[in-house]
Each structure stands twice: as structure tokens, then as C-alpha cells.
Chain A
């Protein structure tokens, strides 16, 4: 029943006349696969085009324009004036707004990282680990507005924190009203609220460290501090890198907690870039300034992220 007159696929491929046909067939198949692949990707690509690329291009246009936000015909090109205004003498964008943004992000990362390493290490040695992880994860599932308001009440002159200080015989502190303590006070809350997700990632990282290393360290008589510095932290570096970068990015873009707790005050003591952008665009109708500020923040975020990746790679860790 085999048709001996029809060449097999292999023969077709090797016969001089049919070589072109075979290549055509393969390229047709490949083209069809590519088309189908793009068709499947189309919704996502369309989504990105509509909600990412277009707004990005529009924001770039606005950053070099003056616009009140309503009529597209009113967009007035002003070149780099908005950027110049942001960094002009007397402008508050560089200091204290951008400085606050970086301090806020740095403070949050430092506290959240230190706290999460400590707690994750403790949890790793406890029973009922799932329970502890859940407890520490709870702030993540609570809305920022609720977290901010609760802490705001706790920080108030007659609030819980001052109550504790008074009970210890100490004077009250105007946590959110004093420009020197307002930013650190909000940083503590942001770190507290984000420590849960960091713990989740770090405990997973801790689980992946082979027990044999600890056994070998124990045989060599290494103490807990040496084990932490020589074994745990180096092997936890991929998780630490992830936590560090994501927390830093979140910190740089932080907005909700600050608007709830201090509205950027007192003065500009807790004002950050995202809050300033929001105000410039939606309260004052300065879309150009807001867009320019957004691009400056984008450059800062990019630079900081690349720097973090570079530092970790230098230490032998590929992100």
C-alpha cells in the first residue's frame, strides 16, 4: 500500500528540485506560527500600547508643554521650561521633596530589611511558622488608609505611643507635628506595613538554604552571629536583592500613606515626589510640571535600580 512513486520527505528534501518547496513550506509554517503568536499576544500588546506606551508618550509631550488638563487643543509647548522650573533657585522640588523621597525610600528599605531578616530568622526557628507568617503578613492585606489612620491616632499627643512614653515618665513627642520627627515616624509605619511581604520572601529563601551548611558550621563551633554573617546572609542574597529592589521602588513611589498621615506637612517636611505630582496635576492643573516631575522620578528610580543591580552583581549575584 506504500506509494513507491512518491518520494519520501527525506528524499524530497535532498532532491534538487524540491528543496525550495520544502523551505517555502517551513517558512510558511513558521510565518503562520508567528502570526498566530502575535494574534494571541495582541490583546496584551494592545493593553500595553493603550495603557503604557501611549500615556508614556503623552506624558513626555506634556512634560515639555503647559496644559491645564482639559482641552487637547490648549497644549502649549514650552520646551524644557518645566524641567528648568523644577530645579530653579527657590524651587522646593530638589530639596526637600526629592530628598525626602530618597530618605523615605532608604529609611523604609533599611528598617524593613533589618526587621524582616530578624523576624524571618526567628520564625525559621519557631513552631507554627505558618501562624507567625500570617500574623506578620496581616498589614499587607489591610488598606493603606486604615493603616495610616490607625498609626496617626497612635502618634497623636494623647495617643497610644505618647501614653506609653508618659507612663514611662517621659514627655510627649509631637511625632507628626514636628518637622524633625514627622518623616521618620511615617517611615516606621511604611516599614511596618511592608515587613510582612519581605518576611514571606525571606522565610522562603531561608528554607532553600541546605541544612548541611548549618550542621557543618555547628561541628566547627561557629556561633549564631558567625552563622548569620557567614552562611545565612550570603546565601539569602537573591531574596535580599529582590526585597531590597521592590521595597525601594515602592518607597520611591509612596503616596497614599503620606497623604493620609501628614498630607506632606508640616510645611514640606514629609512631602514626596508622587504627592507633589498628584497635587500639581489634579489640584493646580499644572500637568506639564507634574509630567516633568514624573520623568525626573523615573530617571531616579532607574538609576537607583541599576545601581542596586550592579552592586549585587559585583558581589557575584545575578539578578
Chain B
């Protein structure tokens, strides 16, 4: 009986060995990717940060349309929150699970290109992108003059202001120069007897890298300065323009007109911030958040240091690119062309008006694209007037530097800005430390 069991059945020893082996084998197996049968459609994966709410629904619309009208190539969306997007790219790519189509923040383009993650746009696509998009959009999707994807969401920075708070402080309209900005900030700021901020005159925020650095870089650009040199290998923050920006922010914090610890994304909608520099996407969030109070919100071009100075601001963006490891790059580029350059009728605009699916998608969520013609079409009737200054700024905005090491340079700048705001560093120390640290890291990244 024992012999029979050994011959025909599974002995305890065999079972003891087989079970962990099976568990290990199943644990290490590659995830199921499809049937692999000839004739099955190619399934492309698209990884973005359009993870929830209206953003998710807005992207799913055109993807569903593509899937309904294309039999050979299907697209499947995957989404994570923006704060997890870069990490997800890195981890999935390292694990050999990178998506076919990536939707990165343009700041990371240099880093992703250097790591061999992004595939250069084929010449015919690059030509279409150069022809259809503004200079800032093309610049933010390029590294070393080479294009790596279709610009999608474009953001420019302008001054949001609370009309009611300015009016109550006896100020007629938004400031146009830094002097007016500072004056308005001091006049509108209020604190209680315990030192709690009731109203920030000018919102400076430590909320995240984008908020902290975006505000400073937008002001730096408006003063004619740049963060990184033209060749991308050194920082140019330690310049008169950089010093002027750091001085301005230091004064605002020291005199109590700014409270960087307050979450400006909550405080402004609550009427606790008179003015703040932010990007265009915020209009889409503010409207539902503020309800009827949104009528108090105005947007103006970023103030310049002196009256008559040339306007400039920061522009940031996202792009849709193709993974260098994708097995179906041709199909992926074709989908991107369909999404980003093919013009279709616009329901909400005047009869016969056409725009790309991506432009319609962006405007539907209160955002902008780098296609100025689409933006004018889509905003021609009934658009939010607060989006106009952002649209105008597309003409003169300076793209955020996206050199290799840009993310680290931005984080280092943020740390030093915070050190300045909290009194850990003087203006001189902050400028000098930023320059030394960023130069070291950016040079290593190359």
C-alpha cells in the first residue's frame, strides 16, 4: 500500500517540495498580457495621471471612441495620482512593465530621455508637432532640440486675485508692477492677536515643488531671469533677477504679508488670500470649489518689476510620448496623431468649429493646450474670461527647464526657497547654496 502510494500518488515529501515550488513559480510568473493568438488586436497601454473624476472621464471619452472605431489596435488606460506618476514610471520601467504610451510632466523629459525611456518622435510626427503647436509647447516636449512627444496640457502662470479683498483694501484693480503688488499685499494682509493669519496679502506656499518653485520661477521669468543656463548645465538663479525675486519674497514673508505654511489651495478659495501666482488649471478647480464666490476671482498677467518691462512668465506642460520599450511604437504614434492632431467638430463652440480631441479634452476640464488656434476656437463662445490671460501668456511664456536632473534641481531650489522663507538662510546664502547644489547635481546628471 505504501509502495502503491509512492508510485501512483503524491507522497508527503513530494507535496512538501511541490507546494513551495508552485507558489514560487506562480509568484514569479509574468502577468498575463493577452491571448497571444494571431489576429488578436494589439492592446496599447497608456499610463497617465488622469486618475480620478473629470480628468479620468475626459480621457476615457476619446479612448473609447478610438476603441469603437479601430479593430486592430485597442488602447487601455492606466492612471495614478500625479504625485505617484514619476515613481510609477521608474518602478514599472525597471520591472519591464512600462506602458506603451507615457504621459509625463515635461520637467522629467530630460531625465526619461537620458534613461532611455522615451522614444524620439518619428520625423513625420515631429513635423506635425512643430507645425501645430506654440514655441513653449514644442520646447517643453523637446530635449536637445529633438521632440519626444505630443504636448498635451500646457500651463502658463498668472496672478489670481480676490476682487473683493482688493476692493475692501481700497485697491481698484490688480497690480501691474512689483511695487504695486507689494503695496497691495501689505494693505490686504490681516492677522489676529495670536499671530494666526486671517488674510495673506500675497500667497506663498510650501505645498509642493510645483507650487513653491512655480511661483518663484514665474516671477524670475517676469524679471527677465532664467533658472538654468541656455546649455542646461548650470543654474542662472544667482543673477540680479534671481536676487530681486528672493528679496521680494523675503520681504513679503518677513513683513507678514505671506504665510508659506498655509495651504494656498484651501486658503484662496476660502477668501483668505488676496493674490497668488498659479497656473491656468486652477480655474477649473476653483469654479466648483467656490460656487458663487468664484465671481470674486480675477486673473491678470504676472506683474513685472517696473512699468513698461517686457512681459514674461513660466510655462509648464505634459506630453504624450511612446516608450522606447514598446513593441508597437508605430501603432502608438498613430493613436497619438489621431488624438492630438486630427480635428473634429466641437459641440460647445459655434457651428462648423473644429479642434483636436486633446484640445477639447483639456478645455473641458478647464485647462489649456499648446495649440493656440484650438484654444481660440474652443474659448470663442462662453469661455471663462479668466482663462484669457493664460492663453495670451502662451505667446511669451518661458518653458520650464527639462534638462537631465531638472526634477532634482527643482527640489533643491524648493529647499532653499523654504530655507529663505523660514529664516534659515539669508538672500545671499540662499542664492549661493542653490547655485552650488544645483550646479553640482545638474552637472552630474549629464
Which residues of A line the B interface, CB within 8 A? 36, 39-40, 42-43, 46, 68-71, 74, 85, 90, 92, 156-158, 162, 165-166, 170-172, 174, 176-179, 263-269, 279, 281-286
Contact = CB atoms under 8 A, between A and B. Distances in A.
Contacts of A286: 408, 444
A156 B262 CA distance: 8
Contacts, number: 113
A177 B197 contact: no
Nearest to A265: B418
B415 A285 contact: no
B383 interface: no
A299 B10 CA distance: 48
B93 A70 contact: yes
B37 to A, nearest CB: 30
Given A179-B423, A286-B444, 11 more contacts: A39-B16, A85-B444, A178-B422, A266-B260, A267-B415, A267-B424, A268-B415, A269-B422, A282-B86, A284-B411, A285-B90
A158 B196 contact: yes
A9 to B, nearest CB: 24
Contact of A68 (B23, B115, B195, B408): B115
Nearest to A278: B87
Contact of B196 (A46, A69, A162): A162
B68 interface: no
Interface residues of B, number: 47
Interface string B72-114: 0000000000000011001101100000000000000001001
B196 A179 contact: no
Given A70-B116, A157-B259, A171 B195 contact: yes
Contacts of B445: 284
A279 B411 contact: yes
5 tightest Cβ-Cβ pairs between the two chains A and B: A177-B261, A43-B20, A68-B115, A267-B419, A266-B418
Nearest to A74: B116
A100 to B, nearest CB: 13
A233 B410 CA distance: 50
Max chain B CB contacts within 10 Å: which of A266, A268, A279? A266
A281 B20 CA distance: 32
A43 B424 contact: no
A57 to B, nearest CB: 17
Determine the main DSSP class of A at the interface with B: loop
Contacts of A268: 415, 419
B206 A282 contact: no
Nearest to B420: A267
B87 A265 contact: no
Contacts of B261: 156-157, 174, 176-177
Contacts of B425: 267
Interface in B398-446: 405, 407-408, 411, 414-416, 418-419, 421-425, 436-437, 440-441, 444-445
Contacts of B259: 157
Contacts of A43: 20, 23-24
A90 B440 contact: yes
Contacts of A40: 16
B117 interface: yes
Interface in B174-214: 194-197, 206, 208
A165 B444 CA distance: 47
Contacts of A158: 196
A249 to B, nearest CB: 25
Contacts of B405: 284
Given A43-B20, A265-B415, A172 B196 contact: yes
B113 to A, nearest CB: 10
B17 interface: yes
B94 A70 contact: yes
Nearest to A36: B13
Nearest to A266: B418
Contacts of A46: 20, 24
7 contacts: A69-B90, A69-B93, A85-B444, A172-B195, A179-B419, A265-B414, A282-B90
Interface in B105-136: 111, 114-117
Contact of A69 (B94, B260, B411): B94
Given A172-B194, A283-B86, A284-B111, A267 B117 contact: no
A42 to B, nearest CB: 7
Max chain B CB contacts within 10 Å: which of A36, A70, A171, A283? A70
Contact of B194 (A39, A166, A282): A166
Max chain B CB contacts within 10 Å: which of A36, A177, A178, A267? A267
